[in-house]
Copies of this chain bind each other. A is one copy, B any other.
């Protein structure tokens, strides 16, 4: 059947608050637009840990196992210190990415003209910004071995990690970038540090080889990561699709958040390999974290999570018109003046998380 299964996992901090709103939006598309889907809510983090001793209880594992798409909230925060490292590790976000081999992390950066007053960048720099960072998510220094902490003969300690990429790990994520570029402005910028790191030398050579073999119609450029961090702030409009490794993508996408106005606005999709039935597990989550400082106050911006639903409609549900509809509703809520605290100018009315959900539903 084409009935898609969605696991809804709010998690910790502001995760459950923002996810409650994107779940309302998902329901709207199921009911009003007949998008075929089943939703299954599941718990993650400190709450199930206190009740069951597990951050990821068996019911949650099962919900995610059977799901086509996971709508993920957030994880982390001070109270999670109560969870011993071993219990935490057994069901971490990094563990999930690895378990489902979610190697391609897409982070679209779109500037909303309505938000330029509260953004740190000038409107003249923001206008027209529309690019996607594709971050490799299951390899690199996040997962490289050996790693650890050792005590040296002289009593000093030494921490060490391994950055690494293989041909296949590079090619599959770069392929995703070239394919996405073909549906957009046909430009890929590959970011590395090939003037210093052997890992990046291999990265760059594999990008060049794949481009020559299969994607020579796509315009390809290369940029060092330090320069990319600067160019994202200086002239973000120059980018269409940017592809890079795990740690560079982590840093650059937060840097790029400011080119969209606010971190709270940013959605993401993490895609696994296509299986022999043509299915592809995907996890959708806002780029922001658990924001413990504002958790429980009902003031978080749900738009990063709601825009992640738009990505789900486009990529898992194969409903591009519905995705467009939702993105337009968000834009129209914003241009109608709807603002949560993180995107409000001084003195402007601030909506609660729930009211921002209402504003989007009203615009639908």
In the complex, the answer to whether A234 meets B120 with C-beta atoms within 8 Å is yes
In the complex, the answer to whether B120 meets A202 with C-beta atoms within 8 Å is no
**The stretch of A223-231, A277-285, A298-306 that contacts the partner chain:** A223-231
In the complex, the answer to whether A163 meets B165 with C-beta atoms within 8 Å is no
A198 to B89, CA, bound (A): 14
* Contacts A141-B197, A250-B226, A251-B225 given; does A165 touch B159 at CB 8 Å: yes
In the complex, the answer to whether B251 meets A158 with C-beta atoms within 8 Å is no
Q: Note all chain B residues with C-beta closer than 8 A to A263.
A: 230
* Contacts A121-B122, A158-B202, A200-B159 given; does A255 touch B235 at CB 8 Å: no
Q: Note all chain B residues with C-beta closer than 8 A to A156.
A: 166-168
A152 to B202, CA, bound (A): 13
- Indicate whether A222 reaches chain B with its CB closer than 8 angstroms: no
Give a binary string over A103-146; 1 marks a CB under 8 Å from any B CB, 0 the rest: 00000000000000000111001000000000000000110100
In the complex, the answer to whether A163 meets B160 with C-beta atoms within 8 Å is yes
Copies of this chain present in the complex amount to 2
Q: Note all chain B residues with C-beta closer than 8 A to A253.
A: 226
| Interface residues on chain A, size class | 35 or more
- Indicate whether A203 reaches chain B with its CB closer than 8 angstroms: yes
Q: Note all chain B residues with C-beta closer than 8 A to A167.
A: 156-158
Q: Note all chain B residues with C-beta closer than 8 A to A230.
A: 254-255, 257-258, 263
In terms of DSSP, what is the predominant structure of the interface of chain A? helix
In the complex, the answer to whether A226 meets B199 with C-beta atoms within 8 Å is no
In the complex, the answer to whether A160 meets B255 with C-beta atoms within 8 Å is no
Nearest to A159 among chain B residues (CB) is: B202
A94 to B203, CA, bound (A): 21
Nearest to A248 among chain B residues (CB) is: B251
Q: Note all chain B residues with C-beta closer than 8 A to A229.
A: 229, 251-252, 254-255
Which of B147, B162, B258 lies in contact with A233, CB distance below 8 A?
Answer: B258
A120 to B168, CA, bound (A): 38
- Indicate whether A84 reaches chain B with its CB closer than 8 angstroms: no
Q: Note all chain B residues with C-beta closer than 8 A to A122.
A: 120-122
Interface residues, chain A, with chain B CB atoms under 8 Å away = 76, 94, 120-122, 125, 141-142, 144, 147-149, 152, 156-168, 193, 195-203, 206, 225-227, 229-230, 232-235, 247-248, 250-255, 257-258, 263
